[in-house]
């Protein structure tokens, strides 16, 4: 079973190799890359192409490692015991299973996505070392060890907001999604908009790469922004010719709101356009 | 057979351990990559390199190992400065010119010539037809034209000579020992936990106590979560001589913002006067009166200056000494006021400690604030934090 590009997702050769190596050697795969290059999408597509379930654990700044294993709700048990509710004797009724537990006890091999691990506290990855390594953890309340019946395929994404500890990195395979080149981008666009006008794609891509090449731009537009922008261009029926008459004096592309998300960048482009107008005079 | 590569990659400064070497053997045994040099390269990188900043060093070491030559020392001058390659302009060549450019020989000759050329060349170059630069017609460089040229930088071109020689991760390399994680670990020392705010944590002791008082009927008590209650005021010097240290300051700022919930920051130019700036730009509209900052922050606020403390001495000692405006009171008076209001303060200096004594202004500041200046390194920050919690 190998992972390759699907009809909805374009995977470069090094990305499919990374995924296949992680599956074969049963290691977590850590994915980094510019925002909008399809890190989260990868896990979804992987689950789809392996025809299995995707379990997603979204990490927030308040997430604790224990929440991924289980939580013991002592308060409801205490309250239930006073009201004499049925089943209060069994502690199992008051253990809330976390995403890791869910993945471990699944009857088939699932894909577990730990999304944006860098959002959590700086010690968070260290608290998961043992669980990811051995794929088991110990439940104190019931005195039992939960072992993975089928080792899940673990995909971890990070946006580089915090550095991850070395001990954690040692246990992962690491892949950095490079920003796709023009040929790959064309493939990606073809996947999203199969019957788009070729001329429009060419012009839009030229303009898009020009924009990414502007020095000192704060937030470079990425793949997902390009897809959104094309959708707008299509919806507004903007012809390829409108993009072609590129007057350098007008550096701002039409419907730029989908591409540029930062007002400083808009100002930068306006300044560049202004300087260009003054020079050409 | 992989020991040689392992040592070469380690020597290039990529932290690889035995565990990863064994992992690679395991992967090769499992035939994840087989008889394909590009796959082997990608697989090795996947397993051995854990940070995109090390990709560039790995590429160089791998390239050298693959060719069987001893790895050259990766000194800074073997690295092509980024700005040589920035595409300033696209040069259009006439057909005659294009015809005039001939192949330099085979692939190996081209690589060899590139190395030689790189060794000879000392400065940035654009245009022309020999040196490595931008928009020229030399076979080496970027954005120019040569039928069999080597494209340097601006990766993403699959047809380039060899994947690892593209060095497309050059922009991600970062040799700062001053990682954000290091800084954050150093800043953690400055913690003073307290409970206030919304009650969202279960208070076990309080609940047992209240339940016992209610004769066994459950009475749940909640309490606010423990938070780092430390207040930090960060004053950063920007512009002028601080431009060289902008990276270090950005990292410090990122780390501090992640660590302290209650952090305010302002900017100053060279020395603190009657106004501080809230963003860069230095216009009056986004500035705030220093008096107001003094008034609105409680005295237990920890004050951290970040600056190289290199300025003309009269900026500290004389009214009207500022390089930018006519200040009615000398900078020293303002430093004094801040030091009196906020007794817990530290100054972080991005310059190495040995150089501090060469500037008069540095000594003047130490006289006013006391010996509380520290280097902007993880070690220095740790010392500074120790000073601040005292």
Residue numbers in B near A27 (CB within 8 A): 23
From residue A227, alpha-carbon distances to A69, A201, B242 in Å are 37, 11, 40
Q: What is the pTM for the complete model shown?
A: 0.61
B319 DSSP 8-state letter: T
Other CB atoms within a 10 A radius of the CB of residue B73 amount to 9
CA distance B34 to B40: 7
CA distance A262 to A239: 26
Burial pattern B252-281, b for ≥16 Cβ within 10 A else e, equals bbebbebbbeebbbbbbbbbbbbbbbeeee
CA distance B213 to A218: 60
- Pick the more confident residue, B196 or A71: A71
Other CB atoms within a 10 A radius of the CB of residue A72 amount to 15
- Per the CB < 8 A criterion, the answer to whether B332 and B283 are in contact is no
pLDDT at B155: 35
Task: Tell me the shortest Cα–Cα distance from B60 to chain A, in angstroms.
Answer: 17
Q: Return the structure tokens found at A22.
A: 């992680």
CA distance A259 to A208: 8
Residue B60's nearest CA partner among B70, B51, B50 is: B70
- Per the CB < 8 A criterion, the answer to whether A113 and A102 are in contact is no
Q: Which of residues 84-143 of B touch A (CB under 8 A)?
A: 86-87
Q: Please name the residue of chain A whose CA is at the shortest distance from the CA of residue B155.
A: A181
CA distance A127 to A139: 15
Residue numbers in A near B156 (CB within 8 A): 178-182
Binary contact (A181, B217; C-beta < 8 A):
no
Residue numbers in B near A162 (CB within 8 A): 180-181, 184, 258
pLDDT at A1 over 80: no
CA distance B196 to A68: 27
Length of chain A: 281
One digit per residue, the tens of pLDDT, for chain B of length 390 reads: 688 888 888 888 888 888 888 888 888 888 877 767 788 888 888 899 888 878 888 888 888 887 764 444 444 444 444 444 333 333 334 444 444 444 444 444 545 665 666 666 555 444 444 444 444 444 444 443 343 444 443 333 333 345 566 565 655 544 444 566 666 666 766 666 566 666 777 888 888 888 888 877 888 888 877 767 788 888 888 766 777 777 777 777 777 777 777 888 888 887 888 888 876 555 666 778 888 888 888 888 889 888 888 777 878 888 877 777 778 888 888 888 898 889 888 888 888 888 887 778 888 888 888 888 888 877 788 888 888 877
B229 and A CB contact within 8 Å: no
Q: Please name the residue of chain A whose CA is at the shortest distance from the CA of residue B225.
A: A62
- What's the maximum distance between 2 C-alpha atoms anywhere in chain B? 101
CA distance B109 to B103: 10
Residue numbers in B near A24 (CB within 8 A): 27, 30, 32
pLDDT at A269 over 60: yes
pLDDT at A96 over 60: yes
Q: Is B383 helix (H, G, I), strand (E, B) or coil?
A: helix
pLDDT at B110: 47
Helix (H) / strand (E) containing B179: none
Task: Tell me the shortest Cα–Cα distance from A180 to chain B, in angstroms.
Answer: 7
Residue numbers in A near B33 (CB within 8 A): 17, 21
Handedness of CA B309, B313, B319, B322 (dihedral sign): negative
* Phi then psi dihedrals of residue B87, to 5 deg: -80, 95
CA distance A28 to B242: 42
Task: Decide the pairing of beta strands B193-202 and A173-177.
Answer: unpaired
Q: Which of residues 184-223 of B touch A (CB under 8 A)?
A: 184-185, 202, 216-218, 220
Q: Please name the residue of chain A whose CA is at the shortest distance from the CA of residue B30.
A: A24
pLDDT at A101: 92
B218 DSSP 8-state letter: -
Task: Tell me the shortest Cα–Cα distance from B341 to chain A, in angstroms.
Answer: 33
Residue numbers in A near B172 (CB within 8 A): 176
When pLDDT is averaged across residues A14-27 and rounded to a whole number, the result is: 88
Q: Which of residues 205-234 of A touch B (CB under 8 A)?
A: 213, 215
- Pick the more confident residue, B66 or A108: A108
**A28 pLDDT tier (thresholds 50, 70, 90):** very high
CA distance B63 to B115: 13
Q: Which pLDDT tens digit goes with each residue over A118-158?
A: 888 778 888 888 888 888 899 988 888 989 888 899 999 99
Binary contact (B168, A21; C-beta < 8 A):
no
Residue B126's nearest CA partner among B152, B155, B87, B168 is: B87
Task: Tell me the shortest Cα–Cα distance from B371 to chain A, in angstroms.
Answer: 32
Tell me whether 0.85 is exceeded by the ipTM: no
**SS3 sequence, chain A?**
CCCCCCCCCCCCHHHHHHHHHHHHHCCCEEEEECCCCCHHHHHHHHHHHCCCCEEEEECCCCCCHHHHHEEECHHHHHHHHHHCCCCCCCHHHHEEECHHHHHHHCCCCCEEEEECHHHCCCCHHHHHHHHHHHCEEEECCCCEEEECCCCCEEEEECCCCCCCCHHHHHCCEEEEECCCCHHHHHHHHHHHCCCCCHHHHHHHHHHHHHHHCCCCCCCCCCHHHHHHHHHHHHHCCCCHHHHHCCCCCCCCCCCHHHCCCCHHHHHHHHHHHHHHHHHHC
CA distance B67 to B69: 5
pLDDT at A55: 94
Q: Which of the residue ranges A6-15, A265-274, B189-198 has the most confident prediction, judged by mean pLDDT?
A: A6-15
B171 and A CB contact within 8 Å: no
- Per the CB < 8 A criterion, the answer to whether A232 and A258 are in contact is yes
Residue numbers in A near B42 (CB within 8 A): 13-14, 17-18
Binary contact (B46, A175; C-beta < 8 A):
yes
Task: Name the residue with tokens 């107001």.
Answer: B292
Which member of B39, B50, B184 has the closest CB to residue A174? Answer: B50
């Amino acid at each position: 079973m190998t992972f390759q590009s699907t009809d909805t997702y374009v995977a470069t050769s090094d990305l499919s190799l990374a995924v296949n190596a992680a599956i074969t050697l049963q290691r977590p795969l850590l994915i980094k890359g510019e925002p909008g290059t399809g890190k989260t999408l990868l896990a979804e597509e992987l689950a789809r192409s392996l025809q299995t379930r995707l379990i997603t654990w979204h990490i927030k700044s308040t997430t604790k490692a224990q929440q991924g294993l289980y939580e013991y709700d002592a308060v409801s048990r205490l309250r239930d015991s006073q009201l004499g509710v049925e089943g209060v004797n069994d502690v199992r009724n008051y253990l809330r299973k976390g995403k890791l537990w869910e993945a471990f006890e699944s009857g088939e091999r699932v894909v577990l996505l730990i999304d944006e691990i860098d959002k959590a506290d700086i010690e968070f990855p260290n608290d998961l070392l043992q669980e990811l390594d051995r794929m088991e953890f110990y439940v104190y309340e019931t005195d039992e060890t939960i072992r993975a019946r089928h080792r899940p395929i673990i995909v971890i994404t990070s946006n580089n907001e915090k550095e991850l500890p070395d001990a954690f990195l040692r246990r992962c395979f690491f892949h950095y999604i490079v920003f796709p080149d023009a040929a790959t981008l064309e493939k990606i666009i073809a996947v999203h908009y199969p019957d788009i006008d070729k001329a429009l794609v060419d012009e839009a891509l030229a303009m898009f790469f020009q924009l990414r090449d502007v020095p000192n731009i704060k937030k470079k537009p990425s793949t997902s922004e390009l897809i959104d922008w094309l959708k707008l261009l299509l919806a507004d029926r903007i012809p390829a010719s409108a993009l072609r008459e590129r007057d350098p004096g007008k550096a701002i592309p039409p419907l730029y709101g989908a591409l540029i998300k930062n007002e400083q960048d808009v100002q930068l482009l306006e300044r560049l356009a202004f300087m260009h107008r003054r020079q050409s005079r | 057979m992989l020991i040689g590569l392992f040592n070469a990659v380690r020597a290039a400064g990529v932290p690889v351990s035995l565990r990863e070497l064994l992992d690679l053997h395991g992967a090769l045994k499992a035939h994840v990559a087989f008889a394909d040099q590009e796959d082997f390269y990608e697989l090795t990188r996947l397993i051995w390199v854990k940070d995109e900043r090390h990709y560039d060093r790995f590429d160089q070491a791998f390239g050298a190992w693959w060719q069987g030559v001893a790895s050259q020392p990766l000194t800074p001058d073997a690295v092509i400065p980024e700005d040589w390659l920035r595409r300033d302009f696209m040069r259009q060549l006439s057909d005659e010119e294009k015809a005039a450019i001939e192949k330099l020989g085979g692939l190996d000759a081209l690589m060899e010539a590139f190395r030689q050329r790189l060794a000879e060349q000392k400065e940035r170059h654009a245009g022309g037809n020999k040196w490595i630069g931008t928009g020229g017609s030399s076979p080496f460089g970027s954005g120019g034209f040569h039928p069999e040229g080597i494209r340097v930088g601006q990766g993403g071109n699959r047809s380039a000579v060899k994947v690892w020689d593209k060095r497309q991760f050059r922009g991600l390399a970062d040799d700062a020992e001053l990682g954000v994680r290091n800084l954050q670990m150093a800043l953690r020392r400055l913690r003073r936990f307290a409970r206030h705010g919304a009650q969202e944590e279960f208070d076990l002791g309080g609940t047992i106590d209240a339940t016992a008082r209610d004769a066994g009927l459950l009475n749940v008590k909640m309490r606010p979560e423990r938070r780092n209650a430390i207040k930090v005021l960060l004053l950063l010097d920007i512009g002028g001589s601080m431009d060289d240290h902008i990276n270090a300051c950005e990292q410090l700022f990122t780390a501090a913002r992640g660590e302290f919930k209650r952090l305010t920051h302002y900017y100053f130019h060279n020395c603190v006067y009657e106004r501080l700036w809230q963003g860069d730009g230095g216009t009056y509209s986004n500035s705030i009166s220093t008096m107001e900052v003094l008034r609105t922050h409680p005295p237990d606020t920890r004050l951290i200056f970040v600056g190289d403390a290199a300025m003309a001495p009269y900026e500290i000692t004389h009214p009207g000494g500022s390089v930018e405006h006519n200040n009615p009171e000398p900078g020293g008076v303002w430093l004094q006021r801040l030091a009196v209001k906020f007794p817990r303060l530290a100054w972080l200096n991005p310059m190495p400690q040995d150089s501090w004594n060469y500037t008069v202004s540095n000594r003047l500041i130490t006289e006013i604030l006391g010996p509380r200046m520290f280097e902007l390194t993880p070690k220095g920050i740790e010392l500074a934090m120790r000073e601040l919690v005292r």
